[in-house]
Amino acid sequence: MTVPAAPRVSRRTAELGTENAFVVLAEVNALVRAGQDVISFCIGEPDFHTPAHVQEAAVGAIRAGRHGYTPSAGIPELREAAARYMGGMRGIEIDPEHVVVGAGAKPFIAYSILATTDYGAGDEVVYPNPGFPIYESQIRVHGAVPVPLHLKEGRDFAFDPAELDAKIGPRTRLLILNSPHNPTGGVLRRADLEAIAAILRRHPQVWVYADEIYSRLVYDGEFVSIASLPGMVERTIICDGASKTWAMTGWRIGVAANPVLAAEFTRWVTNTDSCASHVGQCAAVAAIEGPQDAAEAMKASFHERRHLIVRLLNAVPGISCRTPGGAFYVWPNVTQACRMVGAADSEEFRRRLLHEAGVAVLADIHFGARVPGEGQHIRFSYAASKAAIEQGVERVAEFVRKHARRAA
């Protein structure tokens, strides 16, 4: 019996991008099921359990019957806790009415683009490149024009403010900032943000989406939000969440704050998810307001691992790795290593590491088009044990040494 063909999918769906960390993770899982030994550095997820008191709060919420719908903007106690927490970290006052809770922080990328640009009108969104791939994907699918802002290794993966100035024009509606940054671990320092704010004051039509999900994971110096600078809080969408700080990626709780757009975001939540998980919201209140020793211990562990992986990678022939300021990623330059092993580019290097050395990483092209003149890079997430870091980097070193000998 012939099965009739299904109707076609929309062009928008066919062209929708993805997050390649999950694509590579699926490939890794298939190899592991087939019996291959793989050490994975491809997913940006803390390798810790959610703190015990947060788990208990969730269990208590379930037993108390708090598992129905909530207001689309979130339960009042979480909005209040998040306002105090985010405002305190940034040195600003945030009204709980200006806070919206989402099913993770990721939906606010789409909501921000939808709330500040019009489909097909030529509205532009400036975003960091390399960057979290969902930025460009969501800009395109919602009919705006993506304008990449190149991050430079020589600036510790910050961008040149003069380049930002050149890219903002009358059609620019939104600037995306991510600090600490995925995939490079770069951090925008106060001087960087002051230069950016000075430029934006000449362009009052531009909103700012401040993706600060790694705000608690800054290792050198202070975390600074652009929202804390004069005249910026009203036009900045502050986005944070529970995932990275308290090892709650699967709980899907994100928060965004803005005095103007909170009501618009609430309507978007109503139209999409209805509300975030009631149980997850109760857990997030406990995470924010409860003991912070587990969160601080996780940060201390990531800090130690950062030193370890940077030191080990810099000892690998053909690899150079700058020390990232935050998050839990390193972005080593593998240009010379690619030449040594005969790999055409970082993606071929990445594939060969997986299939020949049993090490899973991501290539620079998974985070946008390569920055001209910046060479080849790969990303390691060091949210992995010290033993995995030591064994994984040694496999990379042996892979390079072996194939370099053959080439010689």
Pairing assessment for the beta strands 254-257 and 378-381 based on DSSP bridges: unpaired
Could you list the residue range(s) of the whole structural domain that residue 376 is in? 11-49+294-407
Tell me, yes or no, whether 401 lies in a domain.
yes
CATH of the domain at 20: 3.90.1150.10
Is residue 310 within 8 A of residue 323, CB to CB? The reply is: yes
Claim to verify: residue 151 and residue 29 sit in the same structural domain: no
pLDDT at residue number 107? 97
Tell me, yes or no, whether 244 lies in a domain.
yes
Strands (E), 338-407: 359-360, 362-363, 378-381
User: How many structural domains compose the chain?
Assistant: 2
What are the tens digits of pLDDT across the range 267-285? Answer: 999 999 999 999 999 999 9
pLDDT at residue number 18? 80
Tell me, yes or no, whether 343 lies in a domain.
yes
Claim to verify: residue 192 and residue 308 sit in the same structural domain: no
CA distance 326 to 373: 24
Tell which of 289, 315, 333 closes a domain.
Answer: 289
Tell which of 225, 255, 289 closes a domain.
Answer: 289
pLDDT at residue number 32? 85
Claim to verify: residue 270 and residue 356 sit in the same structural domain: no
CA distance 351 to 365: 13
Considering only CA atoms, give the Rg of the chain.
Answer: 22
Claim to verify: residue 248 and residue 130 sit in the same structural domain: yes
pLDDT at residue number 213? 98
Claim to verify: residue 361 and residue 284 sit in the same structural domain: no
Residue numbers of the chain with a pLDDT score lower than 50: none
Is residue 25 within 8 A of residue 38, CB to CB? The reply is: no
What's the predicted TM-score (pTM) here?
A: 0.95
Claim to verify: residue 361 and residue 310 sit in the same structural domain: yes
pLDDT at residue number 407? 63
Tell me, yes or no, whether 133 lies in a domain.
yes
For residue 324, whether the previous peptide bond is cis, meaning omega lies within 30 degrees of 0, is no
Claim to verify: residue 251 and residue 337 sit in the same structural domain: no
pLDDT at residue number 408? 59
